[in-house]
Structure 1
Amino acid sequence: MADYHYMEVLMNKHRFVCVMVAILAIAVPLGAQGTKEQSPKELVVYAYDAFCGDWGPGPSIVENFEKETGIKVNLVSSGDGVEMMTKLISEKNNPWADVVIGITDDMAQKIYDAKLLQPYESPVLADIPSFLQFDAEHRLLPFDYGNFAFVVDTQAMKHEDIPTSLASLTDPKYKGKVILIDPRTSSVGLGLLVWTVEVFGENGYLDWWKAMKENALTITEGWSSAYGLFTEGEAPLVLSYTTSPVYHVTYEHTTRYQTTLFSEGHSTTIEGVGMLASSTHKDAAKKFIDYLLSQAQLSIALANSMYPVNARTVLPEAFDYAPKPEKNLSIPAETLAKNLDRWLTEWTQVMSR
């Protein structure tokens, strides 16, 4: 079972004909499955790409939920976390989704301010430690959590060359060896931005990014593309999670990819699920959320390579390969809400020069 105590010490896409095409392109959301012709009994669930992909937990969770409840689910792949939230906000006056999966605690304030979510105090919250329940109003309920970290390809990098801190990554020897992720489009990329503020402070975080602009092989739009480049051997270091090696141990039976722990500590992240206030299928939405927080927890933990929030979940030995940081870093929600847009603007100015 995950060690919840350590966390306590402790985020988008002839004139008459042209006009009509443009209108339809805006009005109809693009998804992994189906169209906007929602059937009366169909539950529309927005989730980030990695959750919906072939290797993500989404497809099997939906299949099992449908068999158990008889409720049809349309799982819609909606970009990375920030893109998905932007999509929801843009659809505020023409809502489609009933449930959203993957809004993280560090970017939640924007969706709260948009007043899109309806609180739901699921009975399963009784099995989830209170320190993981980041929204007192239960608009977003936690379903998994972890720490941001850099994962190293040990077959492509010598042990003595593995970085030991964020600061060490700015060494010129890492030029072209690190894959980063855009904080404007990805919750993982946003996590790194916040992590640098936590470590270097507001007076120093941009200096780190200036240096990393020279070292990074590329900055991708989302985690999936970044990790794909990493496993294809394009670079030996990628931004991910401390728990990422669990996937490789479980499904590939290899310890080639390992987490590198940093002396200054690691930023924490909690992913949440919420019900749209505009939903006309709230009973079905509640059942799906309850399922996500209970029966689906092990599937989520294994496929996402994250820790489950439900304390009843028994984890396999593969999680022994997920090292736990000695220091867990975080920023108060109020501070994030007040400063995040400014930090993103400053980041964009630095990285676009």
Structure 2
Amino acid sequence: MAQTKTLYIGMNGGNMERTYTEFVFPAFEKANNVKVVVVPGTSTDILAKAQAAKGSAQMHVMVLDDGVMYRAIGMGLCEKLKPSQNLSAVPAVAHMKDDFAVGLSMGLTGLAYNTKYFADKGWAAPTSWGDLADPKYKGKVVVQSMPASSFGLHAFLMFNRLKGGTEKNVEPAFKAWPTTIGPNVVEYIPNSSKVVEMMQAGDAALFPYTLTQVELMKSKGIPMEFAAPKEGAGVLLTAQCVLSNNPDAALAQKLAEYLISPEAQTAAMENGSYNPVTPKATLKGKAADEQDRMNNMLKSAVTFDWDVINAERPEWSKRWNRTVER
């Protein structure tokens, strides 16, 4: 019997690791006599690991938020994906930089709110990114720190657009945030795991969050709902790439192709609420309803200029720490 090979994939721990390990990888492992092992971490953690091993990759595939993936491609950490039927079925919005990476799941950042708290106060659901600045939410808004998080960054960029800015000009948001949204923020948090804890303590009523996370929390009985702001929710792709100079490139390419197959994408959606990038996923029941909702929101969703963002983000982060989170 041939010895089982091991492929290492960097991705978020928690729900993503559980979903993929239990429901997505097994079919690939069986078909290819291989074991797929998750190296868990945030996008920035995984990128740092890949960067440290550049030239002799320890991981085979990595899964990162789209903004971080653009940085990885720019650093030469990804090899071009091989053409395939599964790759060509993915719509253009999910192809990144000449196919050095491709979307794995489609996400949207909008506003999430504590339905119990809103009901107790008799408040209507939020409808605009500008609602983060409504004085009635004073001390009840939670925002993930912009330097560390796509959720916080999306909120900042959408508020900036509301104030007349663009990715090339973020002056309007930096000028307005400290006196509008700032007084409403009870805490800037490093990652999303603290949101539910703060909700349950009655400290969080409104916060930038993703549709995927909201659906996951609702399935656990957390009183939360997602609102797509009228200005548009922000597109947040979770993307995958095959690492360049990895120890088993052919098998790594095969895994990456499998992960965007209808079979894998359906399993990830039905068991973990990871909205598929392929239109060929066959969804039923609740998963199909969730996907229909996502597709409707995508019609008015906003994409961002990551080339500009990644060039400017270190400077934005310094300024954010100095003027917003001080």
TM range (shorter): 0.7 to 0.9
Decide which of 205, 210, 217 is 1:241's aligned counterpart. 210
Shift of 1:126: 1.8
Higher mean Cα deviation, 121-130 or 156-165?
A: 156-165
Q: TM-score normalized by structure 2? A: 0.82
Amino acid at match of 1:277: S
Matched, 1:287 2:254: yes
Residue matched to 1:183 = 146
Shift of 1:51: 5.0
5+ residue gaps, structure 2, are: none
Shift of 1:304: 4.8
Alignment RMSD: 2.9
Residue matched to 2:279 = 311
Confirm or deny: 8 A CA contact 1:246 1:321 kept in the other structure: no
CA gap 1:243/1:169 in 2 versus in 1, 3 angstroms: same
Distance in 2 (alpha carbons) for counterparts of 1:303 and 1:199:
36
Residue matched to 2:92 = 130
Shift of 1:140: 0.9
Confirm or deny: 8 A CA contact 1:83 1:186 kept in the other structure: no
Matched, 1:334 2:307: yes
SS at match of 1:72: strand
Residue matched to 1:117 = 78
CA gap 1:349/1:49 in 2 versus in 1, 3 angstroms: farther
Amino acid at match of 2:297: K
SS at match of 2:109: strand
Amino acid at match of 1:350: T
Residue matched to 1:24 = none
Distance in 2 (alpha carbons) for counterparts of 1:325 and 1:145:
10
Confirm or deny: 8 A CA contact 1:146 1:269 kept in the other structure: yes
The alignment of Structure 1 onto Structure 2 pairs a total of residues equal to 309
Identity %: 19
Matched, 1:348 2:310: no
Residue matched to 1:226 = 195
Amino acid at match of 1:298: T
Confirm or deny: 8 A CA contact 1:52 1:59 kept in the other structure: no
Higher mean Cα deviation, 223-232 or 146-155?
A: 223-232
Q: Superposition pairs for residues 144-183 of structure 1, below 5 Å?
A: 144-158=105-119, 160-183=123-146
Distance in 2 (alpha carbons) for counterparts of 1:49 and 1:220:
18
Confirm or deny: 8 A CA contact 2:55 2:244 kept in the other structure: no
Confirm or deny: 8 A CA contact 1:242 1:324 kept in the other structure: no
SS at match of 1:259: strand
Distance in 2 (alpha carbons) for counterparts of 1:225 and 1:296:
30
Distance in 2 (alpha carbons) for counterparts of 1:271 and 1:292:
12
For residues 169-216 of structure 1, the C-alpha deviation after alignment (integer angstroms, 9 at most, x for no partner) is: 122321232222123233333333333334331222124532433322
Decide which of 219, 224, 230 is 1:263's aligned counterpart. 230
Matched, 1:45 2:9: yes
Shift of 1:233: 5.3
Distance in 2 (alpha carbons) for counterparts of 1:127 and 1:321:
21
SS at match of 1:235: coil
Residue matched to 1:197 = 160
Shift of 1:350: 1.6
Confirm or deny: 8 A CA contact 1:196 1:205 kept in the other structure: yes
For residues 111-160 of structure 1, the C-alpha deviation after alignment (integer angstroms, 9 at most, x for no partner) is: 12211111113411121112321322x11111111221111221221353
Residue matched to 2:44 = 82
Confirm or deny: 8 A CA contact 2:57 2:244 kept in the other structure: no
Shift of 1:52: 4.1
Distance in 2 (alpha carbons) for counterparts of 1:298 and 1:205:
39
